[in-house]
Amino acid sequence: MNEFEKIPGSKVMTRRSEPVLTCNDVPYESNLTFNAGITRDDKGYVMLFRNDYGCTQPEWEAGKRFKGTNIGLARSDDGIKWTVFEKPVFALKSDEFDRAYDPRITHLDGRYYICFAADTKHGVCGGICVTDDFEHYDIVSMSAPDNRNMVLFPEKIGGRYVRLERPMPVYSRDGDEQFDIWLSESPDLVYWGKSRLVLGCEHVPYCNSKIGPGAPPLKTDKGWLTIFHAVDKDYTRGKNGWEDKWQKRYVIGIMLLDLNDPSKVVGMSKKPLMVPETDFELHGGFRSNALFPCGMIRDGAGQIRIYYSAGDAVVCMATAAEEDLIALCCEEK
Ligand code: BMA
């Protein structure tokens, strides 16, 4: 059964009752399929997903680790039933780069840009690459470390390309992983600057740690509709997932950013949009209790689809009416 069902606690979201992608759908080595970027082209829905491979839960608990991470490609006619291509399409492995992960896709100027995180020998960088066919990828830019969770806006604003990003200031910011959402601009997608704060994690009432941008924002009359993840840490939490302890909970938040200056928040829901509630969100993942959104698109019938990962293990989908999401951001300024 993979039917829509209303889950109590989410005011406006309707989840699918089963994940839309799991490692069982992947024709190559795969253990965790998650953090998927979504777009549409003239052939249908396109998904790029993170694939961690080479380790099972019992092996992990016995001390083994993953062999690696690559990025897989899947296509779908309806955005629900996905067919995974025979081979992964992207990986970064060199003397300096360990892996690329968490792809977010933006259709911009007729091309597909993918923001990704890159683990390097010298820190975590935010990368941007471009593709026209989802087979060949050229790297356009790479940030200095530590930075990740980048998303590109789907058009220039004020004559410049704009991205949201999440630097990780460990030296200068009090507290335990107090990381915020920032914005930078670029004339050419290569050189980035004019960086400024968008949202401090202390301004999110249900968060006591870091936040980060989720999916490329959607333009609406009321502003850029923007989702993000927010983390709360609770040191009484014990094992929930593969690791000995997993004390974080990742929830999804939503806000509206100013159309002309998206560094300004014009409205934000003071409650999370989604929290882990279903069985597959609460149990059985690599890091259970974690919702991590990387895709948000319109379905063409007034509904917005949010693609999110549950437990760093599977890709899931939930929908809401666009007007309900906007109202949530506006009603609780
Ligand atoms: C974040 C990133 C994501 C991951 C999430 C939950 O910090 O590492 O890739 O999905 O944590 O574990």
Residue 1's pLDDT is 24
Phi, psi for 324 (deg, rounded to 5): -70, -40
Domain limits of the chain?
18-330
Which residues neighbour 297 within 8 Å (Cβ) at sequence distance 6 or greater? Answer: 38, 39, 40, 79, 218, 304, 305
Res. 43: pLDDT tops 70: yes
Q: Which of 312, 314, 315 to mutate to test the pocket of ligand 1 (most atoms within 8 A of CB)?
A: 312
* 285-296 pLDDT, tens digit each: 999 999 999 999
User: Which residue lies with its CA nearest to atom 9 of ligand 1?
Assistant: 102
- How far, in Å, is the centroid of ligand 1 from the Cα of 42? 31
* 25-39 pLDDT, tens digit each: 999 999 999 999 999
User: Which residue lies with its CA nearest to atom 10 of ligand 1?
Assistant: 312
Which ligand 1 atom minimizes the distance to the CA of 309?
10
- How far, in Å, is the centroid of ligand 1 from the Cα of 191? 26
Residue 302's pLDDT is 87
Res. 3: pLDDT tops 70: no
- What number of CA atoms fall less than 13 Å from residue 281's CA on the CB side? 23
User: Which residue lies with its CA nearest to atom 8 of ligand 1?
Assistant: 102
- The pTM (predicted TM-score) of the whole model is 0.96
Which ligand 1 atom minimizes the distance to the CA of 292?
10
Q: Which fold has domain 18-330?
A: Tachylectin-2; Chain A (2.115.10)
- Number of Cβ within 10 Å of residue 147's Cβ equals 22
* Average pLDDT of the residues in 297-310: 95
Residue 8's pLDDT is 41
* 261-272 pLDDT, tens digit each: 999 999 999 889
Do 260 and 3 touch, CB atoms closer than 8 A? no
Do 211 and 180 touch, CB atoms closer than 8 A? yes
Q: Which residues line ligand 1 (CB under 6 A)?
A: 35, 102, 250, 287, 290, 292, 312
Which ligand 1 atom minimizes the distance to the CA of 312?
10
Which ligand 1 atom minimizes the distance to the CA of 250?
6
